[in-house]
């Protein structure tokens, strides 16, 4: 008999249940880290794109329109009215329209985000715009009065000194927008590099955890269970020479191995009892034959000679004594067999309880594997949603690109207007030199705007490329989660097979328990029969002694009768 199996502790890290819970917990934490990293990366990318659009591109557009109103509409209108290409009333309306557009664009620009430096530059630009507003009011009064000489003097002496400082201040604000967009782009690149490294580390760590869990499950669960199942099949076929390994393990596999060892020892004990029972049956048959032979000899002795009655009586007495000794020995052995059968029954019940406990553990493992499959499916769904969000960011970047192309078209039209202004200045001769200078400045500003929009378009393309990299990384995560789901399904199938094997073991143990109870009942009957045999042997001994006495009495009577006959 082997020692009782030690109880399993739920907190023991050597149990299969605890190992699976630890592995699932680690994978859940990794999935949470991956999801959090992707979420933070997407949020920062979205904030960067929104910052570029709302805080840089929209202000750049408003500043560009305001600058064009000063450099093109107001100055160009003054020169056209001066040259007669535009009427006095039409010129006044154009000036009023330009002033209203400048106020609208500047108000929209002032509502956007500004740092301290930009606020300072905007304040200086505001002061220059107020100074230019006085000059524009004077220009509007000249147009309303139709004073051509005053208009010539104003354009030559006052218009450019009032407008040029404003366009220069707006140009510095445009440069600030470009610098801010570049800074946001740099932050986005840094976030992309950090997120890519962290996601790669989490994926590698997750793959290592999966490989470790798979190797541990194969080495400590599936292979030992397969070996125990093979030993159980051999034991069921009656092979009692098996060597049970793994009885020293502190997990469910060790408990199953110890239960199998108990079952093996019980089977060995049952075989020994069966052999003893067969030997006892052979002895009983031999003893029965001897009794029959003695009875036949006694009957022949009685019918043959009166003298053989005495001899047969003596032989019967010896036989009765032998029967009493054998009955007493049989009674003793039957008691020992009954105690052994009771111990065997208790061992079989222990095996049944251990088998039920193992079945419950395997069912718990199945539930944990099903939970891991559900977690992996949920993580895959979240990753798909993340991909949809990234595609939405890519579409937003494409719309920003359309706005940039619109600004490029405006810059091209501004350049064309500057070229037309240059041609008009050339036609005006000496009077158009100042207008030519303004046209040159407008052309330079249009070129700067074109270069700025090209740089922003390049930055947006880089953001789109980074978004595509994020999509590819998340696709890799989805593939990894699918692999986790497949491995968990394979483990669930293996556990289902082990659950079926455990059910078969439980049924075999119950049948063995029933057989043990039958053996115990048979041994009790043998014990009762042995007691009855001892009683019968005692009675036979008394009867043989009585027969011997009667035989002696008969012999004396015969001798007396013979003596009487002789005497007669």
Give the tens place of pLDDT for each residue, 309-321: 567 667 756 765 7
- pLDDT band for position 373 (cuts 50, 70, 90): low
| DSSP H helical ranges for 218-237 | 223-236
pLDDT at position 10 is 43
Assess contact for 446 and 415: CB atoms under 8 A: yes
Q: At what angle do helices 252-304 and 223-236 cross, to 10 degrees?
A: 10
Per-residue buried b or exposed e for 331-364, using 16+ beta carbons within 10 Å of the residue's own CB: bebbeebbebbeebbebbebbbebbebbbebbeb
CB-based contact 67:488 (threshold 8 Å): no
CB 84 within 8 A of CB 424: no
pLDDT band at residue 106 using 50, 70 and 90 as cut-offs: very high
pLDDT tens-digit map of 248-300: 777 777 777 788 788 778 888 888 888 888 888 888 888 888 877 765 675 67
Share of the chain above pLDDT 70, in %: 65
Domain boundaries, the chain: 247-370+502-567
pLDDT tens digits, residue range 438-469? 667 667 766 776 776 677 677 767 756 766 76
**197 burial level (CB within 10 Å; 0-12, 13-18, 19+):** exposed
pLDDT tens figures, 383-393: 577 667 656 66
H helices present in 160-251, as ranges = 160-217, 223-236
pLDDT of 114 higher than 80? yes
Confidence band (pLDDT; 50, 70, 90) for 306?
Answer: low
Query: How many residues are present in the chain?
Result: 568
Closest CA to 146 of 88, 195, 105: 88
pLDDT at 210 over 90: no
DSSP three-state, residue 2: coil
Tens digits of per-residue pLDDT, 15-62?
666 767 777 787 788 788 788 777 877 777 677 677 677 677 888 888
Helix axes 433-567, 16-52, angle to 10 degrees: 170
CA distance 388 to 368: 31
């Amino acid at each position: 008999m082997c020692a009782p199996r030690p109880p399993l502790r739920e907190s023991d890290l050597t149990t299969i249940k605890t190992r699976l819970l630890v592995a699932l917990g680690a994978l859940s934490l990794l999935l949470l880290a991956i999801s959090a990293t992707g979420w933070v990366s997407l949020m920062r990318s979205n904030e960067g794109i929104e910052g570029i659009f709302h805080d840089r591109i929209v202000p750049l557009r408003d500043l560009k329109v305001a600058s064009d109103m000063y450099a093109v509409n107001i100055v160009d209108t003054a020169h056209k009215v001066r040259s007669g290409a535009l009427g006095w009333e039409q010129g006044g309306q154009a000036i009023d329209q330009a002033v209203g557009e400048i106020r609208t664009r500047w108000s929209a620009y002032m509502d956007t985000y500004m740092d301290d430096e930009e606020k300072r530059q905007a304040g200086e630009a505001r002061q220059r715009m107020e100074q230019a507003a006085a000059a524009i009011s004077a220009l509007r009064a000249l147009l309303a009065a139709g004073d051509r000489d005053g208009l010539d003097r104003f354009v030559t002496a006052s218009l450019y000194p009032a407008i040029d400082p404003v366009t220069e201040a707006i140009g510095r604000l445009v440069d600030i927008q470009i610098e801010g967009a570049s800074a946001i782009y740099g932050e986005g690149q840094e976030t992309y590099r950090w997120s890519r490294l962290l996601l790669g580390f989490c994926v590698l760590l997750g793959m290592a955890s999966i490989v470790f869990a798979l190797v541990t499950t194969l080495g400590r669960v599936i292979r030992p269970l397969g070996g125990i199942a093979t030993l159980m099949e051999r034991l069921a076929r009656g092979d009692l020479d098996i060597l049970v390994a793994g009885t020293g393990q502190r997990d469910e596999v060790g408990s199953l191995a110890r239960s199998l060892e108990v079952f093996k020892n019980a089977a060995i004990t049952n075989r020994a009892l069966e052999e003893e029972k067969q030997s006892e049956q052979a002895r009983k048959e031999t003893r029965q034959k001897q009794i029959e032979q003695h009875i036949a000899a006694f009957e022949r002795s009685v019918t043959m000679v009166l003298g053989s009655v005495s001899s047969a009586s003596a032989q019967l007495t010896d036989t009765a004594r032998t029967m009493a000794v054998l009955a007493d020995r049989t009674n003793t052995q039957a008691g020992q067999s009954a105690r052994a059968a009771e111990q065997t029954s208790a061992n079989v019940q222990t095996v049944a309880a251990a088998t039920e406990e193992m079945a419950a553990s395997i069912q718990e493992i199945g539930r944990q594997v099903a939970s891991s499959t559900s977690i992996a499916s949920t993580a895959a769904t979240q990753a798909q949603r993340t991909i949809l969000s990234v595609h939405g960011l890519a579409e937003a970047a494409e719309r920003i690109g359309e706005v940039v192309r619109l600004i490029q078209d405006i810059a091209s039209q501004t350049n064309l207007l500057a070229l037309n202004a240059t041609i008009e200045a050339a036609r005006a001769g000496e009077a158009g030199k100042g207008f030519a200078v303004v046209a040159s400045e407008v052309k330079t500003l249009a070129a700067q705007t074109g270069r700025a929009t090209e740089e922003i378009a390049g930055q947006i393309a880089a953001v789109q490329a980074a978004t595509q990299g994020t999509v590819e990384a998340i696709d890799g995560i989805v593939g990894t989660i699918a692999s986790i789901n497949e491995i968990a399904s394979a483990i669930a199938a293996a556990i289902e097979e082990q659950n079926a094997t455990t059910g078969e073991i439980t049924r075999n143990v119950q049948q063995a328990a029933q057989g043990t109870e039958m053996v115990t009942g048979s041994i009790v009957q043998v014990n009762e029969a042995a007691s009855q045999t001892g009683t019968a042997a005692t009675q036979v001994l008394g009867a043989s002694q009585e027969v011997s006495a009667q035989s002696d009495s008969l012999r004396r009577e015969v001798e007396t009768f013979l003596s009487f006959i002789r005497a007669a």
